[in-house]
Structure 1
Amino acid sequence: MLRLRPCVSIRSIYSTRHSKLLSPLIPSLLFSKSPSFLKTHTLYLNPNSTMSTSRPSAFDALMSNARAAASAKKKTQPQPQSKSSSPKKRKTLDHPQNPDKTLNSVQNPQTDESKKLINTPDSSNEPKSEPNSRSDSLLKVNESNKLRVEDKNTELKSKIVLLKKKAGDFKPEMMANWEKGERVPFIFVSLAFDLIANETGRIVITDIVCNMLRTVMDTTPEDLVAVVYLLANKVAPAHEGVELGIGEALIIKALAEACGRKEKEVKKQYKDLGDLGLVAKASRSSQSMMRKPDPLTITKVFNTFQQIAKAIRQHSLSFPKQEKNTKKHYLENNVLEKDMPTFPWEESGKDSQDKKKNHIKALLVAATDCEPLYLIRLLQTKLRIGLAEQTLLAALGQAAVYTEEHSTPPPHIQSPLEEELFPSRVVPSLLPYSQSILALKEFEVDSTLALKEFEVDSIAAKIVKQVYSVLPVYDKIVPALLSDGVWNLPKTCSFTPGVPVGPMLAKPTKGVSEIVTKFQDMEFTCEYKYDGERAQIHYLENGSVEIYSRNSERNTGKFPDVVAVISRLKRPSASSFILDCELVAYDREKKKILPFQILSTRARKNVVMSDIKVNVCIYAFDMLYLNDQPLIQKELKVRREHLYSSFEEEPGFFQFATAITSNDLEEIQKFLDTAVDASCEGLIIKTMNKDATYEPSRRSHNWLKLKKDYMESIGDSLDLVPIGAFHGRGKRTGVYGAFLLACYNSNNEEFQSICKIGTGFSEQVLEERSASLRSQVIPKPKSYYRFGDTTKPDVWFEPKEVWEVKAADLTISPVHRAAIGEVDPDKIPTVHVIAILCASFFKFPVLQNGVQALDVYLLMGISLRFPRLVRVREDKSPEQASSSEQVAEMYNAQKHNHQNNQDDNDDDD
């Protein structure tokens, strides 16, 4: 691309390869009696262009014109030049749309444009230039392009509401305003984000996402993977460790530079708005440029995000945390910085930061309308539009059904008689969720077809969810969906080593009698519940070992000793496998299990075997895959047999989970006591044959957990997120005195307050937690925090930490918002109902009956009574905290809320 730049020095021109051409001109220029000639005329030259000697160059033409103009000026105006007749400034040329055409015009001295590149002082007396000058034409082309883009954006904004239509009524060709095969514009996704953010109904949101995906499938299916990842606010599968999460400081710098603002101004506006995305949207609206960059596309945005995320990961891998502490070591030993060796990660880190900042700037400069808002939120991984990943998966399955090529389901799904294969074919359970069916019934039209269509959508959604639970990789699922359809997805995408799945989890229970009641007439087993770190160990056919945490984080570098043990104690018959187990701190001399707090002191990355001080024992309890065969659909009894036959035990290194198979209450109670004496938390009870498959990423009723400490309380601990704190007083002056905790609602992507906690802290723990959270203080609560007006802490936090909390009880609260609207009306204590009815009579005169008053009551949340801190859960992210659904289930299960559970009290004493 041709780029003209000013040559400041004539001598520098003379030293170029054009010296032969310029030689005749240099003496007259250097010894000219009019120095203002050089001052008032800027010479432009492209040093990278090839100048031909067979004909006059563009530079020769410029110089000739300049000398001719100067001579004419001397003849016509012998008087000194006044300030008012100063030459007009030359407009800076923009990047030309057609480089070849521009090069020809510059090299050809016969064209009018070459004569107008330099304006002379008396140019006002010359005939006005033709409107086809290069700079004017560029401006007009740029203005035309800008208007065309704005028109397309306006058109798209007017049509975006079409995404809310029912899938059967939606036509993708009516939505897209780009040609088939063209890259999907990012503005389309941004406007869809806006549409989703303004909706609360799960069905409507599913329709929007489904129709959005169908539009992409219809026009540019190769962009579908990127669109799905952006909807999930990810750039790669979780186990690859490629994440964004750009810090606020870097985004503020990039935003300030991209928008021509000062960082102080950006920070002040951020403090007022509380959302950097809103700051970016407001900042971009005032920016104007000579030439607007090309509109953003999905591919451009997603590829840039991946480059940023991979740069972060590469720098982290190149310079691990232990190595970075070297400089701190020198400072602690009073070594001056000038005497320290060089630290390569500092220079590399600066370069990395600059690259990331430039990537962000490039995106922001090209962004329009609401694009900056969502660019920033995506970069921070804080999209927060109320789109749960399960909704995205359901929409993806439904979108695949409506594609022309794969729209027809197999015969067994079309048949209305296959109720045993699809037990969800129960009309009463579906009617509340299908407005179209209700509408058909009102007009006395046969609703069988509509019900069937709705059922097929549901089955497709279920298939995608199940496949994603065993292969959480959109790069594999989406292409398979496009090529083979949703009905063949389980065949084309299967469970495989190297890709971790979410662990199966257990439901809490409060007594042995409850276990026997739930599992009556079923064979079940009881295993020790170890107090360690859940791990999924993958052994690949090439002999490599990978270890993943419960949230799919790669922990292989954290446990090199585990890698060695697995390779040593596996039997030769096991060529590849996936093992579900618990890694527990273990004292091999005393042959004793150590508390979880000891395990948490191990380094988290790049551990060297010789540095290990805390030994680990592997307690294996399940086998999910063996020798190219997935086992998750097999019964636990079969999986356990494979487990026992594939490994050799070695005490203190590798052991099978201690277990018994019994339905005798007294025997189970003794086994529980033995587990507690062995430093375990309690028991895990599992069905052996019936309903005994492994259910990834699910908290199943087929697994129950029984903890000794919780048998007289709520049945289980809760994992909660501190979102605020209150300043301490008296002895707690200088630290936080209490904290506001919240559970997580994945459907609405919000944190709901559940309690205020101030007990369970030693002075040391309180100081540690206060110091840790001070760095997470934010000026105002996040828009996705839900709390009562009367519960406003002194400071607010970013949602970063997860705390395990015990409590005596759960109760209805007018202050907190946990599980709001999810309480079972049958479980509401009578005294509370009476109180609400009375309150509605006096305080809410509009309410005339108990049902309406009860509805108001159901808008109240749940809180914990007498909460106390157990520990910090470093193995969990805030989004993996206890869900509002779990909180509601625990409240509904409380015995004092069940009128028919009075007889159970004696059994559990």
Structure 2
Amino acid sequence: MFTITKFIGHSRFIVKFVSLAVKVYPQVSISTFSIINARSMSQKSITSFFTITPKKPVKVQQKNKDEDETESPNDTTSPPDIGKEKRSSKRQRLDSSGSESSAPVEASPPASDKKKKPKRQRIESSGSETAPSPKSSPMKVEKSKGPPKTYNSPKSKKKVKEEASPLQKKEVNKQKSPPKTQVKVKKEATSPVAVKTEKEVKVEKSTSPESKNEIKDSEKKEGKENEEVTKVPETEYDPAKPKYHPINDACWSRGQEVPYLALAKTLEAIEATSARLKIVEILSNFFRSVIVLTPEDLLPCVYMCLNQLAPAYHSLELGIAETYLMKAVAQCTGRTLAQVKSAAQKCGDLGSAAEQARATQRTMFAPPPLKARKVFQALKEVANMTGQASVNKKIAKIQSLFTACRNCEAKYLIRSLEGKLRIGLAEQSVLQALALATATTPPDPDGVKVLDASKGLSAEQFKARLDEHALTIKTTYCECPNYDALIPVLLQHGVAALPQHCRLTPGVPLKPMLAHPTKGVHEVFNRFENEQFTCEWKYDGERAQIHVPAGEGGAAPDLAKASIFSRNQENNTSKYPDILRRLPGLLKDSVTSCVLDCEAVAYDVETKKILPFQILSTRKRKDASEADIKVQVCVFVFDLLYLNDRPLVREPLADRRRLLQEHFNEVEGEWQFATSKDCTTMEEVQQFLEEAVKGSCEGLMVKTLVGAHARYDIARRSHNWLKLKKDYLEGVGDTIDVVVIGGYRGRGKRTGVYGGFLLACYDHENEQYQALCKIGTGFSDEDLQTLSKELEQHVIEAPKNYYSYDRSHSPDAWFGAACVWEVRCADLSLSPAHRAAIGLVDSEKGISLRFPRFIRVRTDKTPEQATSAQQIAEMYLAQDQIKNNKSKPTNLDDFY
């Protein structure tokens, strides 16, 4: 104990000596001072050891008046410095030396270099170079006129320290030390009692009524500004919120890019909702916020809601196989490919498995949050990557996106890359949501001025306005199915200006008009009672929409830019080079531009007969060379939609057919008009149907000829067109296009191939494939061999989460939704074991096909274009034995 006390005494002597030397000789180096600081810190630690032990009560010595007057301003005003003085005085009382206890306060070890330097500078500027005595102050401070602030005892110091408010302490700490040239410092300005906070100043100013009014006005302005600044946290964004406000309930501010998490949250809310009207409302809320805050992000958001990258006719696809996506997820999350496959199999969805894997992953440095615009650009970059190393480049790009995912972003990013969102959001719902968003919050190029236009309108008035917007948007999109052209006009000029700026244009394919099936001739007359109609042969081929744009100057057609599109808007120009070569023989000199609706049919040039569709399907699908073509085609033209810069879709069929015959030529075996006849009696229709069957056609197309119902309804399955097939007496009036989702292993002579298959229809509302029936008849041995090889390419380990089926009918192998078949059946019946159209006719039972049989493979249709659940329900209710049922068929005379 004696040794330690002796050591402390020596240390204090050295510290005292050096500190006095620094004051006398300011040129002492910083390194020397750091040594002093280090030693003083060691002294502190040793002294603190003894402060733990209880001490004998000692009388508190009061400071002399001179000592109080010589305290520096910083020591007086700063509460932390007061605490240091208090602590240093206790340390001095531990030593037995009385001379050391009377050492000046300035000799106490400084807390840091930063605090020491300003004190030393003030000493230099005072002009005193003589060494101060222990009892005198080294620095003189000019006293204020008022009484000086003194502390009579440590208790009084503590009391003042407690009275100082936190705000006052904050203000004092913020005050900077006086500049080097400043010599005198007024004590009043640095006193914590004299410092007033901004709030106190405002309170003093607000005593007068005028100042109160000014403060209220400023608060109102600040409230408006805060309305723009405050935003909901991205993880709490909820577009399904009742009475949604497009600014206050958004999770981003005006001018900021839309967070991808906001879009993902919207898709998640839609997936959790089954009611179509609620889905439209949720999506419209999100669109309203985008229109108000960041209108330039509306286009990429619309595309990603539809899971598209560009218009369909651009044929821009991601081209990412599911295995590559699993590989990317595995590499990002540190899992094996087998683990990711197993998780996807359990979840039934790779997106959900990826979300779970991402949630358990921890990153050292979080990447910047994803933005909707940048995600869309990245997806387009992935789709445009080609070449040998394109797969590795795509995986690297996907990984960079995946590692930045938060919350539910990973699920919908992976689903977008798969090309299957599966959230129950159809394109018509997106268009309806756009209509609701623009009707509620009208866009304006100078900034949205009305956030809720429904205020002040009755429910009927607003519904009428909404219906007008929806009809304009849907009709315009049908004529110009290109969001790249539609969305900018919508934001710049409004909904009313869409028909003027977005018109039917050669090169942009239309969605074709479709016909309703009918079972017999009597239904034709029931539908077209008191109306004039015509009958045309229904050719068994592939829909071809031929576009010929005008050349420079508009004097002649530009045949080099002519293009051919399929019924689902795919560009088939490279598939039919022979048709393009024959175009000059079709067009007369009066034609400068046109759009024709046709049917391309396999044709035997020698016998001059139409060949079955199966022969046409053997042609090469892309980049065909005319020299290698073995199957010749004849194009049967049946409608004219555009002629010489003039859209004709709103003209009656009689006028369109007259213009078609006036401006186009027929060339036998190459270009022919559809065989037609205007019938007035059932006998004429029956006779014409038999002629069509003899001419190797499927049946008849019955169309309204004149009147308001005779226009070309783009993208509609309209009752203004009816199809009457040759097999209408065999039970069901129309064949059914189904999707193959499962296969059963064959037995007996079918061993080694699939002997039966599980078929499904497509439900557009829920984006599901619903099991319809099992099929095992109508196949030849060659068919089974061919179909089994083709289906092996689409085998998946487990059913997708958007497959709706009964477990009792689980197949031996599951297939991805890729192959479309045409089947026929005797009739339809309710089934508790199948899920097709469940809820449309019966709340618990679906609909199944009785005695189904295979007809052919439909290579011209995508799985989404298969027969819908609504059509299955209508076919069921149209049967004679069901007609007395109270249930009404679903109305499909609308945009599909």
1:638 equivalent to 2:676? Answer: no
Quickly say closer, same or farther: Cα 1:663–1:818, change in 2 above 3 A.
Answer: same
Q: What SS is found at the alignment partner of 2:739?
A: strand
Q: Provide the TM-score with structure 1 as the length reference.
A: 0.69
Q: Give runs of aligned pairs for residues 505-544 of structure 1, distance below 5 A.
A: 505-542=514-551, 543=558, 544=561
Aligned to 1:888: 873
Please give the alpha-carbon distance, in whole angstroms, between the structure 2 residues aligned to 1:604 and 1:129. 81
Amino acid at match of 1:664: T
1:193 equivalent to 2:267? Answer: yes
Find the partner of 1:771 among 776, 789, 798: 789
Find the partner of 2:323 among 217, 235, 249: 249
Please give the alpha-carbon distance, in whole angstroms, between the structure 1 residues aligned to 2:232 and 2:400. 23
Q: Give runs of aligned pairs for residues 511-590 of structure 1, distance below 5 A.
A: 511-542=520-551, 543=558, 544-590=561-607
Q: Note if contact 2:232-2:251 (Cα within 8 Å) is conserved in structure 1.
A: no
Q: Note if contact 1:516-1:663 (Cα within 8 Å) is conserved in structure 2.
A: no
Aligned to 1:596: 613
Please give the alpha-carbon distance, in whole angstroms, between the structure 2 residues aligned to 1:245 and 1:892. 41
Q: Note if contact 1:274-1:779 (Cα within 8 Å) is conserved in structure 2.
A: no
Find the partner of 2:396 among 348, 358, 363: 358
1:478 equivalent to 2:484? Answer: no
Q: Give runs of aligned pairs for residues 372-521 of structure 1, distance below 5 A.
A: 372-405=410-443, 449-521=458-530
Q: Note if contact 2:232-2:250 (Cα within 8 Å) is conserved in structure 1.
A: no
Find the partner of 1:219 among 265, 271, 293: 293
1:279 equivalent to 2:332? Answer: no
Q: Note if contact 1:245-1:381 (Cα within 8 Å) is conserved in structure 2.
A: no
Q: Note if contact 1:579-1:625 (Cα within 8 Å) is conserved in structure 2.
A: yes
Deviation track 1:248-273 (CA, whole Å, cap 9, x = no partner) reads 12112222222233223222322332
Moved more, 803-812 or 284-293: 284-293
Q: What SS is found at the alignment partner of 1:705?
A: strand
Amino acid at match of 1:876: K
Q: Give runs of aligned pairs for residues 855-894 of structure 1, distance below 5 A.
A: 857-894=842-879
Find the partner of 2:819 among 784, 801, 806: 801
Please give the alpha-carbon distance, in whole angstroms, between the structure 2 residues aligned to 1:397 and 1:740. 39
Aligned to 1:815: 833
Amino acid at match of 2:250: A
Q: Give runs of aligned pairs for residues 323-342 of structure 1, distance below 5 A.
A: none
Q: Note if contact 2:231-2:249 (Cα within 8 Å) is conserved in structure 1.
A: no
Alpha-carbon shift at residue 623 of structure 1 (Å) = 0.4
Amino acid at match of 1:560: P
Deviation track 1:623-652 (CA, whole Å, cap 9, x = no partner) reads 001111110000000110111112111110
Q: Note if contact 1:534-1:549 (Cα within 8 Å) is conserved in structure 2.
A: yes
1:607 equivalent to 2:632? Answer: no
Alpha-carbon shift at residue 779 of structure 1 (Å) = 2.2
1:648 equivalent to 2:665? Answer: yes
Aligned to 2:234: 156
1:748 equivalent to 2:760? Answer: no
Aligned residues: 644
Amino acid at match of 2:655: V
Quickly say closer, same or farther: Cα 1:567–1:258, change in 2 above 3 A.
Answer: farther
Alpha-carbon shift at residue 377 of structure 1 (Å) = 0.2
Please give the alpha-carbon distance, in whole angstroms, between the structure 2 residues aligned to 1:750 and 1:791. 17
Aligned to 1:259: 333
Query: 5+ unaligned residues in a row in structure 1: which ranges?
Result: 1-127, 131-151, 316-347, 408-435, 438-446, 824-856, 902-909
Aligned to 2:803: 785
Please give the alpha-carbon distance, in whole angstroms, between the structure 2 residues aligned to 1:692 and 1:506. 13
Moved more, 716-725 or 266-275: 266-275
Alpha-carbon shift at residue 505 of structure 1 (Å) = 0.8
Alpha-carbon shift at residue 767 of structure 1 (Å) = 1.5
Please give the alpha-carbon distance, in whole angstroms, between the structure 1 residues aligned to 2:877 and 2:504. 35
Query: 5+ unaligned residues in a row in structure 2: which ranges?
Result: 1-111, 115-229, 446-453, 552-557, 887-896
Q: Note if contact 2:443-2:491 (Cα within 8 Å) is conserved in structure 1.
A: no
Please give the alpha-carbon distance, in whole angstroms, between the structure 2 residues aligned to 1:789 and 1:283. 28
1:291 equivalent to 2:365? Answer: yes
Quickly say closer, same or farther: Cα 1:797–1:153, change in 2 above 3 A.
Answer: farther
Q: Note if contact 1:216-1:224 (Cα within 8 Å) is conserved in structure 2.
A: yes
Aligned to 2:894: none
Q: Note if contact 2:257-2:371 (Cα within 8 Å) is conserved in structure 1.
A: yes
Aligned to 2:754: 736
Q: Displaced runs of 4+ in structure 1, greater than 6 A?
A: none
Q: What SS is found at the alignment partner of 1:173?
A: coil
1:628 equivalent to 2:666? Answer: no
Structure 1 or 2, whichever has the larger Rg, is 2
Q: Give runs of aligned pairs for residues 111-122 of structure 1, distance below 5 A.
A: none
1:173 equivalent to 2:247? Answer: yes
Please give the alpha-carbon distance, in whole angstroms, between the structure 1 residues aligned to 2:245 and 2:527. 49
Aligned to 2:405: 367
Quickly say closer, same or farther: Cα 1:464–1:404, change in 2 above 3 A.
Answer: closer
Alpha-carbon shift at residue 567 of structure 1 (Å) = 2.8
Q: Provide the TM-score with structure 2 as the length reference.
A: 0.70
Alpha-carbon shift at residue 897 of structure 1 (Å) = 2.0
Please give the alpha-carbon distance, in whole angstroms, between the structure 2 residues aligned to 1:900 and 1:377. 41
Moved more, 467-476 or 451-460: 451-460
Find the partner of 2:736 among 718, 725, 728: 718
Q: What SS is found at the alignment partner of 2:809?
A: coil
Alpha-carbon shift at residue 163 of structure 1 (Å) = 3.1
Please give the alpha-carbon distance, in whole angstroms, between the structure 2 residues aligned to 1:781 and 1:569. 49
Q: Note if contact 1:723-1:799 (Cα within 8 Å) is conserved in structure 2.
A: yes
Quickly say closer, same or farther: Cα 1:164–1:772, change in 2 above 3 A.
Answer: farther
Alpha-carbon shift at residue 747 of structure 1 (Å) = 0.8
Q: Note if contact 1:241-1:554 (Cα within 8 Å) is conserved in structure 2.
A: yes
Q: Note if contact 2:469-2:495 (Cα within 8 Å) is conserved in structure 1.
A: yes
**Structure 1 vs Structure 2: percent identity of aligned residues?**
47
Please give the alpha-carbon distance, in whole angstroms, between the structure 1 residues aligned to 2:563 and 2:601. 18
Please give the alpha-carbon distance, in whole angstroms, between the structure 1 residues aligned to 2:407 and 2:516. 46
Q: Note if contact 1:164-1:204 (Cα within 8 Å) is conserved in structure 2.
A: no
Quickly say closer, same or farther: Cα 1:764–1:204, change in 2 above 3 A.
Answer: same
Quickly say closer, same or farther: Cα 1:159–1:255, change in 2 above 3 A.
Answer: closer
Q: What SS is found at the alignment partner of 1:547?
A: strand
Q: What SS is found at the alignment partner of 1:720?
A: strand
Aligned to 1:63: none
Please give the alpha-carbon distance, in whole angstroms, between the structure 1 residues aligned to 2:720 and 2:544. 20
Q: Note if contact 1:406-1:486 (Cα within 8 Å) is conserved in structure 2.
A: no
Q: What SS is found at the alignment partner of 2:639?
A: strand
Aligned to 1:232: 306
Please give the alpha-carbon distance, in whole angstroms, between the structure 2 residues aligned to 1:757 and 1:880. 20
Q: Note if contact 2:231-2:248 (Cα within 8 Å) is conserved in structure 1.
A: no
Amino acid at match of 1:359: K
Quickly say closer, same or farther: Cα 1:297–1:675, change in 2 above 3 A.
Answer: same
Deviation track 1:21-80 (CA, whole Å, cap 9, x = no partner) reads xxxxxxxxxxxxxxxxxxxxxxxxxxxxxxxxxxxxxxxxxxxxxxxxxxxxxxxxxxxx
Aligned to 2:144: none
Alpha-carbon shift at residue 778 of structure 1 (Å) = 1.8
Please give the alpha-carbon distance, in whole angstroms, between the structure 1 residues aligned to 2:576 and 2:443. 48
Amino acid at match of 1:179: S
Find the partner of 1:662 among 666, 679, 684: 679
Quickly say closer, same or farther: Cα 1:208–1:708, change in 2 above 3 A.
Answer: same
Alpha-carbon shift at residue 129 of structure 1 (Å) = 15
Please give the alpha-carbon distance, in whole angstroms, between the structure 2 residues aligned to 1:483 and 1:729. 65
Q: What SS is found at the alignment partner of 1:766?
A: helix
